[in-house]
Amino acid sequence: MKIYAIATQTDECYGHGDYGKEWVIGQLCAYHQEGIWNPVFTKEEDAQKFLDEIKFNYNKKIVELELLEKLQEKGE
């Protein structure tokens, strides 16, 4: 099953000054407090509506994830 989440682009240091861009699913309002998680959605359109309503939505995008009911066994 496909689900949709809001991700934010960040700069990540991989060591020795090597930086790259990563898309992460993180918390909101976590600055000096316990953050809150954005919901995930079963429809991309619903995720887009939510993203459009976020006040500071720059560097954010919708990412598609695969929700697994169980881990697949080898040979299945």
pLDDT value of residue 20: 92
Confidence of residue 75 (pLDDT cuts 50, 70, 90): low
Confidence of residue 43 (pLDDT cuts 50, 70, 90): very high
Contact present, 10 and 21 (Cβ < 8 Å): yes
Q: What span, in angstroms and rounded, lies between the C-alpha atoms of 73 and 40?
A: 26
Q: Which amino acid is at 75?
A: G
Q: Judge whether residue 76 has pLDDT over 80.
A: no
Q: Judge whether residue 31 has pLDDT over 80.
A: no
Q: What span, in angstroms and rounded, lies between the C-alpha atoms of 23 and 63?
A: 9
Contact present, 5 and 69 (Cβ < 8 Å): no
